[in-house]
Structure 1
Amino acid sequence: MTTNLLIAALNTTTSRPPDDTPTPLWIGYLSVIIAVLFFGTNLVPAGKYPIGDGLSFQFFMCCGIWVTGLVIDLFVKSPQFYPLVLIGGILWTTGNILSLLVIRINGLGMSMLLWCTTNMLIGWASGHFGWFGLIPEDVEKPYLNYIGVAIATISGAVFLAIRTIRPEEISVDIEERQPILQPSPPVVITTSNDALIETTTITTPASPPTKMYLRVIGCFLAILAGVLFGFIFIPSTYIQDHPYGQYQSASKNGLHYVFAMYSGIFFSSMFYFIIYIAYKGNRPYLHVPSIFPGILSGIMWGIAQAGFLVANSVLSQTISFPLITIGPGTIAIFWSIFYFKDISGQRNYLIIIGGTLLRIISAVLIVLSKPIPH
């Protein structure tokens, strides 16, 4: 059913609509639903496979993303390729690499709260206030939009209180599990599967000042990753907002910028992966059974991001960013409850109910603020 809905959205947005005939808003909201479902589910195929330090998994995921972009590009008949959009893909890959490091410093919960909240606020603000030369995007009822974004931010802090099942302590070869910047001697570590991503925490002793220093660095890098994630649509939106000069043939169809963005993701990921292989002395951590799940995760992410691009074009970032950034976390939590079964207990369920209600209220307020088409 979801595939049929996506095809309907693609068919409706294949051609650039005339300037006096804006794309129907329902296409934008359909794209939001597709993006939320696929962003919230894209890591499920890989959720039960070890990914080590994540660099190899990340590369194969980006391969799946690029293939998805190629298929979409062929479907929309290979529109003009704008090199500027490559920058958006490079920013995403850089933020994704940072997130792998941040998780190992501050854990998944705090890290995701910081970069998801920063991502939402940066993406929303850049569209709403017209940063970096973008045309400011207005809504009919700004106060509802502001309140909705504020509640969405609060809901992230609520979900942070969720506790997963206690991880088991195991000893493993450091060559299989060590993060890139960790020293080489074998150590005892703990592993956990929280919100569909395997995380690793080094349990070697560290002095309180060192721990505090690392936490500060981790928080800074998480915020930096969120800023990079929030900037990824600025190049494509800038081109859409300036249909004159070198961009006079620019399309309003978000799908026309998918291949350029995904190419930026693929080639920058290849660049980082080559550096990683060189650093590891041509011995990267590679768990063969996780390769296909990584590619599949990339395909699902690629579909979600395509929906995000369409939603930005139809609804504006002021509407789409808050809706799409708050939804996937809730979907992932339900996967954790019913499939991975690493979240249980009355306390957790009450937190999830409260956080979900806040996000529903936030989404309703944001939708009611009503976008004003360009």
Structure 2
Amino acid sequence: MNLLLTILNTTTSQPPVEANTPLWIGYISVIIAVLFFGSNLVPAGKYPIGDGLSFQFFMCCGIWMTGLVIDLFVKSPQFFPLVLIGGILWTTGNILSLLVIRINGLGMSMLLWCTTNMLIGWASGHFGWFGLIPENVEKPILNYMGVTIACVSGIVFLAIRTVKQEIDITANIEEQQPILHSSPPIVTTTSNDAPIEIVTTIDSPPINIYLRIVGCILATIAGIFFGLVFIPSTYIQDHPYDQYQTASKNGLHYVFAMYSGIFFSSMFYYIVYIAYKGNRPYIHVQSIFPAIISGIMWGIAQAGFLVANSVLSQAISFPLVTIGPGTIAILWSIFYFKEISGRRNYLIISGGTLLRLISAVLIILSKPIPR
């Protein structure tokens, strides 16, 4: 916590258009993002979530409260409505992810949306898509190699299997399962926004191949939405002179606007959901507080991600932040949830983690070029 306050104090003390923030702040922000993204659903891991819509709404309440605290801490800088779009995109992708998980399972779904998320976020910054200024690195070949290895590492982790979970088969089974055991064949990949990667294997009826294709398409769309979340805030930071004269280089100045977009879009979707359910939504009271805590942790992680993007550039931060949480989640799965064991799994984890370490080293060595 002291480290987080140090970063907040360092960033908030800078002038609005400061451009040369020390790189160590960016890398510390990456570490904070990785730790909290990899752990944010642990508080809710053993509680039932129903169909997930109520859980997501209360989680978004926690996210918005975190954004409010950060906004007060940075003395309420200018609110840019454009950044709301980033929050709306995240919420829409998260709603899609709940549907996709029930079609294709968590493992394949997250492999698709997290890989797409990383590639969209990395490429939009590196190549200057959507009106952004291209973010160059000193050694592009190392950056490309790191991103490629990061994609491969996600595929390696798909081979992990856990001890089969015993689940009561009832008419309302999918409304009673905990959040970390709510889908058939689950395997681990990476995530930035989102669900913790816990692994399990549960027998399920076969799903029509066409429905699986639809699920893959929706997972890819969700990944695109996740990858576009930072485009509005980065666009504003890239155009401080011609369009946004008061734009700040401090990523924390865009937190509240983004989190407001998340909260209000989540509220809209939740109202639609309640109407669809005839005012009888699935709400498990015991999961409300854990959902809020999860949202607070996610909010801290996303704030770190925003700072990392501002300091290091998306070409560096996106691959690092999207590959890290999976390793943290696996550690939770081994030592807390006791779901991963066995020599085979440990060898796979060791190999996948080694690939991710190599990827991270290559990306760091590619070195961002300050703008």
- How high is the TM-score relative to the length of structure 1? 0.91
Q: How does 1:223-372 map to 2 (within 5 A)?
A: 223-372=220-369
Following the alignment from structure 1 to structure 2, what is the Cα–Cα distance between the partners of residues 81 and 154?
A: 39
1:197 is displaced (CA, Å) by 6.4
- In structure 2, relative to structure 1, the CA distance for the partners of 1:148 and 1:198 (3 Å cut) is closer
The residue that corresponds to 1:144 in the other structure is 142
Contact persistence 2:101–2:183 (CA under 8 A): no
1:178 is displaced (CA, Å) by 9.0
Following the alignment from structure 1 to structure 2, what is the Cα–Cα distance between the partners of residues 94 and 126?
A: 20
Following the alignment from structure 1 to structure 2, what is the Cα–Cα distance between the partners of residues 113 and 295?
A: 26
Corresponding residue SS for 2:168: strand
- In structure 2, relative to structure 1, the CA distance for the partners of 1:73 and 1:190 (3 Å cut) is closer
The residue that corresponds to 2:112 in the other structure is 114
- Computed over aligned residues only, the root mean square deviation of the Cα atoms, in angstroms, reads 2.2
- The aligned amino acid for 1:217 is V
The structure with the greater share of residues assigned to strand is 1
Following the alignment from structure 1 to structure 2, what is the Cα–Cα distance between the partners of residues 277 and 262?
A: 22
1:170 is displaced (CA, Å) by 1.9
- The aligned amino acid for 1:106 is N
- In structure 2, relative to structure 1, the CA distance for the partners of 1:20 and 1:274 (3 Å cut) is closer
The residue that corresponds to 1:185 in the other structure is none
Following the alignment from structure 2 to structure 1, what is the Cα–Cα distance between the partners of residues 367 and 141?
A: 11
1:167 is displaced (CA, Å) by 2.6
- The aligned amino acid for 2:97 is S
- In structure 2, relative to structure 1, the CA distance for the partners of 1:333 and 1:124 (3 Å cut) is same
- The aligned amino acid for 1:170 is D
Q: How does 1:124-273 map to 2 (within 5 A)?
A: 124-174=122-172, 177=175, 203=204, 211-273=208-270
- In structure 2, relative to structure 1, the CA distance for the partners of 1:69 and 1:345 (3 Å cut) is same
Following the alignment from structure 1 to structure 2, what is the Cα–Cα distance between the partners of residues 283 and 200?
A: 31
Contact persistence 2:106–2:186 (CA under 8 A): no
Q: Deviations over 1:153-191 (max 9, x none)?
A: 000000011112213242334396299xxxxxxxxx977
Contact persistence 1:105–1:201 (CA under 8 A): no
Following the alignment from structure 1 to structure 2, what is the Cα–Cα distance between the partners of residues 289 and 133?
A: 45
1:16 is displaced (CA, Å) by 3.7
- In structure 2, relative to structure 1, the CA distance for the partners of 1:290 and 1:20 (3 Å cut) is closer
The residue that corresponds to 2:190 in the other structure is none
1:330 is displaced (CA, Å) by 0.8
Contact persistence 2:198–2:329 (CA under 8 A): no
For structure 2, the 5+ residue unaligned runs are 188-195
Corresponding residue SS for 1:370: coil
The residue that corresponds to 1:12 in the other structure is 10
For structure 1, the 5+ residue unaligned runs are 180-188
- In structure 2, relative to structure 1, the CA distance for the partners of 1:373 and 1:18 (3 Å cut) is farther
- In structure 2, relative to structure 1, the CA distance for the partners of 1:190 and 1:257 (3 Å cut) is closer
Out of 45, 48, 52, which is 2:46 matched to?
48
- How high is the TM-score relative to the length of structure 2? 0.92
Contact persistence 1:147–1:362 (CA under 8 A): yes
Contact persistence 1:168–1:190 (CA under 8 A): no
Q: Deviations over 1:59-118 (max 9, x none)?
A: 000000000000000000000000000000000000000111111111111111111111
Following the alignment from structure 2 to structure 1, what is the Cα–Cα distance between the partners of residues 328 and 134?
A: 31
Q: How does 1:68-107 map to 2 (within 5 A)?
A: 68-107=66-105
- In structure 2, relative to structure 1, the CA distance for the partners of 1:347 and 1:203 (3 Å cut) is closer
- In structure 2, relative to structure 1, the CA distance for the partners of 1:309 and 1:152 (3 Å cut) is same
- The aligned amino acid for 1:360 is L
Following the alignment from structure 1 to structure 2, what is the Cα–Cα distance between the partners of residues 314 and 266?
A: 26
- What percentage of aligned pairs have identical amino acids? 79
1:32 is displaced (CA, Å) by 0.3
Corresponding residue SS for 1:247: coil
1:246 is displaced (CA, Å) by 4.2
The residue that corresponds to 1:57 in the other structure is 55
Following the alignment from structure 2 to structure 1, what is the Cα–Cα distance between the partners of residues 19 and 171?
A: 61
Corresponding residue SS for 1:171: coil
1:321 is displaced (CA, Å) by 0.1
1:17 is displaced (CA, Å) by 4.1
